[in-house]
């Protein structure tokens, strides 16, 4: 199967359109038939074809999208746009474009797309400009973005830039999973653990039932207009409780169960000292996520959603703007958003009303700790006969994450001794290490 079938044909089509329009500028004439786009066949199954069909792109939108990716896949075709006006000695203004500092190549702009599609027809040119509005399908589907231009500059002079997601799918023919970066401060959560490894009180599993039901049936819910119109799309949950009690793991396992990517955003790291940067970074995350059905897991939620104070400075005003922006994006997000906090009391009560579920993850009690200890060492190492897990579970209040750290420590000590056995002293040393991290005396 040709993995570039429709893209290859659309590139050739755009090349013909470029030739047609540049010949028009030089007072030549070509048959209008050359502007007809290629037919889409059932055998076109590459990512480009999928984008075209999933977003119901019309011929003009296809031309704009193809034009935007030409610098990355067939930049030589753009050389044909470097046609100079014999009067001015410069490239025809109608062709738009900019030249890249990195490659010296022609980069299409909004003007380029407008002229290739509409020529000199003013009515059609205005229609094409509407396709390049931020509410258009190319932008709503996170396929395209326009470079920023300064105030007072005609907007169509902005460069046509395919999004990272769009380029990734076209160039590598696989789904887009962005890596953590300054402009994308989110990290894909992955775990090899299963629900059997998670130990929680029974009432928490009951609390998770509604969230689980939404993940399983939200598509059906959206097909019930009389019900759906009465509340916002998406689902918002707050997980709160001490560190290491299963909040992050629960979100990860939810994602695994429904084959959904889970992205972790640490809000305490996201809040920028530079005015406007926090909002910009958040926008980038949400713009990519909205069409992916990602589960967004915001850790340290009280860093932004903490109790508000009266505005006393310009920094306070900007901080309130960031909170308002994040709150609006959270409420409008069509998927599952989980906010995590160590203390519910740190959260502003006005924000708490926005959640469909508020679930407390307590420190495990003696019975849960005993189950965690058993699961931790099962099929890994044998325990010295003097170790009494039941007594240890009763005597030491530890989280599941802390018990996992102790397992790692004991395993390393056993490997160091070239022994398959966990010594009681190693276990107690590991417990003391974890207790001291939390300022507890064992």
Contacts (Cβ under 8 Å, ≥6 apart) of 280: 183
Q: What pLDDT does residue 255 have? A: 95
Select from 172, 197, 232 the last residue of a domain: 172
Kindly state whether residues 125 and 257 are assigned to the same domain.
no
Residues 431 and 392: beta-carbon distance below 8 Å: yes
Kindly state whether residues 119 and 38 are assigned to the same domain.
yes
Kindly state whether residues 210 and 325 are assigned to the same domain.
yes
Per DSSP (E only), the strands in 197-273 are: 235-240, 262-266
Closest CA to 214 of 105, 336, 126: 336
Please, what is the angle between helix 5-25 and helix 59-73, to 10°? 100
Query: What is residue 359's three-state secondary structure?
Result: strand
Kindly state whether residues 352 and 382 are assigned to the same domain.
no
Within-domain flag for 177: no
Query: What is residue 189's three-state secondary structure?
Result: strand
Select from 306, 325, 360 the last residue of a domain: 360
Kindly state whether residues 379 and 343 are assigned to the same domain.
no
Kindly state whether residues 147 and 219 are assigned to the same domain.
no
Q: What pLDDT does residue 273 have? A: 53
Length of the chain: 442
Kindly state whether residues 153 and 258 are assigned to the same domain.
no
The number of angstroms, rounded, from the C-alpha of 78 to the middle of its chain's C-alpha atoms is 32
Q: Average pLDDT over the chain, rounded to whole?
A: 86
DSSP characters for 318-369? HHHHHHHHHHHHHHH-SSEEEEEES-GGGB-HHHHTT-SEEEE-PPP-HHHH
Q: What pLDDT does residue 31 have? A: 52
Closest CA to 370 of 387, 355, 392: 392
CATH number, residue 251: 3.40.50.300
Q: Is 296 exposed, middle or buried (0-12, 13-18, 19+ CB in 10 A)?
A: buried
Within-domain flag for 222: yes
Within-domain flag for 178: no
Within-domain flag for 141: yes
Kindly state whether residues 204 and 239 are assigned to the same domain.
yes
Kindly state whether residues 116 and 63 are assigned to the same domain.
yes
For the chain, list residues with pLDDT below 70. 1-4, 28-34, 101-104, 228, 269-276, 306-320, 441-442
Give the C-alpha separation, 435 to 442, whole Å: 6
Query: What is residue 291's three-state secondary structure?
Result: coil
The Cβ of residue 209 has, within 10 Å, a number of other Cβ atoms equal to: 10
Within-domain flag for 371: yes
Kindly state whether residues 333 and 421 are assigned to the same domain.
no
Domain of residue 429: give its range.
366-438
Kindly state whether residues 194 and 164 are assigned to the same domain.
no
Within-domain flag for 150: yes
Residue 377, CA atoms < 13 Å, CB-side half-sphere: 24
Within-domain flag for 179: no
What CA dihedral angle connects 382, 385, 386 and 387, to 10 degrees?
A: 30
Give the C-alpha separation, 208 to 135, whole Å: 36
Select from 360, 381, 401 the last residue of a domain: 360
Kindly state whether residues 355 and 374 are assigned to the same domain.
no
Within-domain flag for 395: yes
CATH number, residue 383: 1.10.8.60
Q: How many independent structural domains does the chain possess?
A: 3
């Amino acid at each position: 199967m040709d993995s570039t079938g429709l893209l290859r044909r659309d590139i050739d089509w755009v090349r013909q359109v470029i030739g047609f329009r540049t010949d028009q500028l030089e007072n030549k004439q070509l048959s209008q038939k050359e502007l007809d786009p290629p037919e889409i066949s059932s055998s076109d199954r590459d990512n480009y074809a999928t984008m075209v069909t999933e977003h119901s792109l019309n011929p003009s939108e296809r031309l704009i999208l193809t034009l935007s990716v030409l610098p990355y896949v067939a930049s030589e075709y753009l050389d044909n746009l470097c046609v100079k006006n014999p009067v001015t000695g410069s490239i025809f203004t109608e062709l738009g474009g900019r030249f890249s500092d990195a490659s010296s190549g022609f980069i299409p702009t909004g003007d380029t797309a407008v002229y290739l599609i509409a020529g000199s027809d003013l009515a059609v040119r205005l229609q094409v400009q509407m396709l390049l509005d931020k509410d258009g399908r190319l932008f709503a589907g996170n396929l395209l973005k326009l470079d920023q231009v300064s105030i007072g500059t005609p907007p169509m002079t902005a460069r046509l830039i395919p999004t990272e997601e769009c380029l990734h799918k076209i160039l590598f023919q696989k789904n887009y999973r962005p890596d953590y970066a300054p402009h994308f401060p989110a990290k894909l959560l992955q775990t090899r653990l299963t629900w059997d490894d998670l130990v929680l009180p029974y009432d928490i599993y009951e609390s998770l039932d509604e969230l689980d039901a939404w993940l399983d049936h939200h598509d059906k819910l959206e097909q019930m207009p009389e019900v759906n119109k009465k509340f916002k799309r998406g689902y918002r949950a707050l997980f709160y409780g001490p560190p290491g009690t299963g909040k992050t793991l629960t979100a990860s396992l939810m994602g695994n169960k429904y084959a959904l990517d889970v992205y972790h955003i640490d809000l305490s790291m996201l809040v920028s000292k530079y005015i406007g940067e926090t909002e910009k970074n958040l926008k980038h995350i949400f713009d990519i996520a909205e069409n992916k059905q990602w589960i967004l897991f915001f850790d340290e939620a009280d860093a932004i959603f903490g109790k508000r104070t009266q505005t006393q400075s310009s920094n306070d005003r900007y901080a309130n703007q960031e909170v308002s922006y994040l709150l609006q994006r959270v409420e409008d997000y069509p998927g599952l958003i989980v906010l995590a906090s160590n203390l519910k009391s740190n959260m502003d009560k006005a924000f708490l009303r926005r959640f469909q579920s508020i679930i407390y993850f307590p420190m495990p009690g003696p019975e849960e700790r005993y189950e965690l200890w058993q699961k931790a060492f099962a099929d890994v190492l044998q325990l010295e006969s003097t170790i009494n897990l039941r007594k240890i579970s009763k005597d030491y209040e530890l989280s599941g994450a802390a018990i996992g750290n102790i397992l790692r420590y004991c395993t390393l000590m056993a490997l160091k001794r070239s022994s398959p056995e966990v010594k009681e002293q190693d276990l107690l040393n590991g417990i003391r290490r974890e207790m001291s991290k939390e300022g507890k005396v064992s």
